[in-house]
Structure 1
Amino acid sequence: MATDISKQDWTKTVAEEDYLVSTRLELVSRDFVQAAFASEDTYWAKPLDRTVLESLLENSVTLGLYKVLPAIPPARSAETPDSPRTPSPAIDAGDSERLQQIGMARLVTDRITTAYLTDVFLVPEYRGKALGKWVVQCVDEVFKNFPAMRRTFLVTSPDVGARFYKQELGFWDVSEEKHQLACLTRRFFKMD
């Protein structure tokens, strides 16, 4: 039996900070998504009307990446500045007030045979910690839960992006299937 992809959670600790990736739609900050869409890093997207944004999220599988804020700041005395950090309590996706969204990846999918990966975004100050790579690994786990997956695809830059997704997800350039497949596109809004 397939896992319910709308309720998957993954946790990770990096440099004594806890992180959560979750497919739970109720955790996704609409303000964060709008800010991501307004970012120069997501040149393909633009902020949306709130009603349209809600529909977009309801009709996608969105993996949110969250920094888990400590419940109580660790106590440190002046005499022992190097004392170990108090372990964080278990990460609970239901404790949304302790979550600060810092990234996302979105799948446009029928949840059975096909998925389009888009809107992969990580706040710049959290880059370089392998968190983006981890989100993409979580995306791969979601792909593996589709019962009759035929094809997953994405649109990315031909240099760094293509290398990254080839390495992390096993994607290849559609031109390698030029005798069997053509990739066509049409743009509906002008890119600035």
Structure 2
Amino acid sequence: MASTNGQEWRKTTADVNYLVSTATALLDYDFIDMAFRTEDMYWAKPLPRDQLTTLLANSTTFGLYRVLPDAPAPKSADSPSSPRTPSPTLENRPTDELEQIGIARVITDRVTTTYLTDVYILPDYRTHGLGKWLIQCCNERAFLVTTPGVGKDFYTRELGFWDVREEEERLVCMTRRFFKMD
């Protein structure tokens, strides 16, 4: 059941309708717990439900959902290919049955800085352009930490992110010695 809080974006790919929403009421905690347990999210660990609730309450989570049954998305001025154009209102719209298939969590001050973390999509949905779309729905001021190989190549190629070391004259990325950097 869809909620009326948050922002949402819709997209249809191969006659399947998808929804990205920041509505917290839509989040499937069992899905998120399962994602945190996968090898694909090696940096994350499963959390007790109360800690997961706190984590999600103190960040913005973009849930990626498959709309069931595959009913046509409502006609509007918002283009499904325009990821940063949220629906102007979520009031008075039909209720959808949703299956959560992905997440992207951000920690943000909602003005200038967004730290993108915990991006996950079920393996069966990874070749449909949904990951790129999901991340495009997130704030474009995102700071991203990823793996040097495949992760870096993907985010550079698909989304235009670049290595902070390329900005050494204007930006320095710092950490405590807990993390060893090459």
Q: TM-score, normalised by structure 1?
A: 0.73
For the residue of structure 1 that corresponds to 2:10, the secondary structure is strand
Distance 1:11 1:122, change over 3 A: same
Q: What stretches of structure 1 of length at least 5 have no aligned partner?
A: 1-5, 71-86, 145-150
* Residue 71 of structure 2: aligned partner: 88
Tell me what 2:45 maps to.
Answer: 46
> Offset of 1:166 from its aligned partner?
2.4
Report matched runs for 1:153-192 at 5 Å.
Answer: 153-185=143-175
Q: Give the partner amino acid of 1:88.
A: A
Secondary structure in 1 matching 2:65: strand
The corresponding residue for 1:24 is: 23
Aligned residue in 1 for 2:133: 134
Alignment map for 1:66-85 (pairs within 5 Å)? 66-70=65-69
Seq. identity, %:
56
Distance 1:157 1:94, change over 3 A: farther
User: What is the letter of the counterpart of residue 40 of structure 2?
Assistant: D
What is the aligned length?
A: 158
Distance 2:135 2:117 in 1: 11
Find the aligned partners of 1:155 and 1:174 in 2 and give their Cα distance.
Answer: 10
Larger helix proportion of the pair: 1
Runs of 4+ aligned residues of structure 1 deviating over 6 Å after TM superposition are: 91-94
Tell whether the 8 Å contact from 2:61 to 2:104 is kept in structure 1 after alignment.
yes
Q: 1:109 to 1:94 in 2, by over 3 A?
A: farther
| TM-score, length-scaled by structure 2 | 0.77
Question: Alpha carbon RMSD of aligned pairs, Å?
Answer: 2.5
- In 2, distance between residues paired with 1:30 and 1:126? 19
